Amino acid sequence: MPADALAAVSRASKTKVHESDYRGTFAARVKKGTSRCMSGSGEHLKDEGSKTQVVVAGATAGLIARQASFHFTVEVSANWRRRFVVAPLDVVKIRLQLQTHSLSDPLSHRDLRGSPIYKGTLPTIKHILREEGLTGLWKGNIPAELMYVSYSAIQFTTYRSVTLGLHKLFGENRIPAAAESFIAGASAGAVATTATYPLDLLRTRFAAQGAEKVYPSLAASIREIARSEGPRGFFQGLGAGIGQIIPYMGLFFATYETLRLPLGDLHMPFGSGDATAGVIASVISKTGVFPLDLIRKRLQVQGPTRSKYVHKNIPEYKGVFKTMRFIIKNEGRRGLYRGLTVSLLKSAPASAVTMWTYERVLHILLDMEATAKDAAG
């Protein structure tokens, strides 16, 4: 969490307000925040909360979504009983995206060089468990955790800041709400992606490691990339990342803002209108930009270690459009969508949890601020 957010939390914890002046317990504020979200108050997401409150709510939402989304996913997709987080699905998605050969196409097996052949989410998980053990499903989890928390805080902060900037720029002649949401969402995605991209690259490279380690530790990977590839090595595939995230976040927030208030008026249980809007927005936006996500992953593993990962036959790619043409020529259009199913299983519940949590944490912070002001004034 950013230092200014920590300082704000610290100041809030030291505020001298008598317990009887509060409107209720923390649980009551949670309930109140939920009822506010369910009521469809008419405010857009981008118009609510101060900068610090948005940072705290965004970081909390990102962290909780990271830990909770897998629990939802396994109940829907498989009969797993053990408690996992979303990291295994991250690893499976990345392994499928990096695979250039297909189980159903024997001709593509001519140049495997010892690479495994994955097919589907559960068989891939079983293969990783058999060949690499349980820890194989958690490769790259540390940089991924750091990325998710940082990304969410930066994303929501930028989203609100850009929106306020648009309000000042256009004044009373405000642009349409959908266009405003698209611009703010796309800007938020671009800034957050660029700021956290080195962590994303490290997550991909660790998840792509097989039984043979390419990097022994996170610190060693940073030193090795800096030494052998230079600063640019941490940003390989950034063009595809920005090209993906701008339409993704624009579509996501535009769809979410469009559905959020109508679904909120339905008074769904536990305020799940926010979660439902998040799922629909995630599926639409993720499917639309998935080819760029796959290209980004393949570009992230380029460099001197390209042939050392679990897929040892990864071709040498250069540039987003050249990579796209190469994949279509050698793997067909379906090659651009390897791993889409597991990606939706992972991202849709995560988006639902993120938006549901963000709305409630933000409203709790707003209620606490109002209570403190009433007590002080």
Stretch 16-40: mean pLDDT: 43
Percent of the chain topping pLDDT 70: 70
What pLDDT sits at residue 294? 96
* Burial classification of residue 247, based on how many CB atoms lie within 10 Å of its CB (0-12 exposed, 13-18 middle, 19 or more buried): middle
What pLDDT sits at residue 45? 56
Q: What confidence tens digit (pLDDT) does each residue in 59-85 have? A: 655 555 554 444 333 333 333 333 345
Residue 287 has pLDDT above 60, yes or no: yes
Lowest mean pLDDT among 10-14, 32-36, 188-192, 265-269: 10-14
Query: Is the pTM for the entire model greater than 0.75?
Result: no
Q: What confidence tens digit (pLDDT) does each residue in 291-337 have? A: 999 999 999 999 999 999 999 999 999 999 999 999 999 999 999 99
Query: 314: how many CB neighbours lie within 10 A of its CB?
Result: 20
* Residue pair 70/89 in contact by the 8 Å Cβ criterion: yes
Stretch 267-284: mean pLDDT: 72
Distance between the two ends of the chain, CA-based, in angstroms?
Answer: 30
Superfamily classification of domain 23-370 = Mitochondrial carrier domain (1.50.40.10)
Q: What confidence tens digit (pLDDT) does each residue in 78-113 have? A: 333 333 457 898 999 999 999 998 766 766 677 787
Stretch 153-161: mean pLDDT: 89
What pLDDT sits at residue 158? 93
Query: 77: how many CB neighbours lie within 10 A of its CB?
Result: 15
103, amino acid identity: L
In angstroms, the CA 151 to CA 9 distance is 19
Which of 99-108, 160-169, 173-182, 194-203 has the highest mean predicted lDDT (pLDDT)? 194-203
Domain residue limits, the chain: 23-370
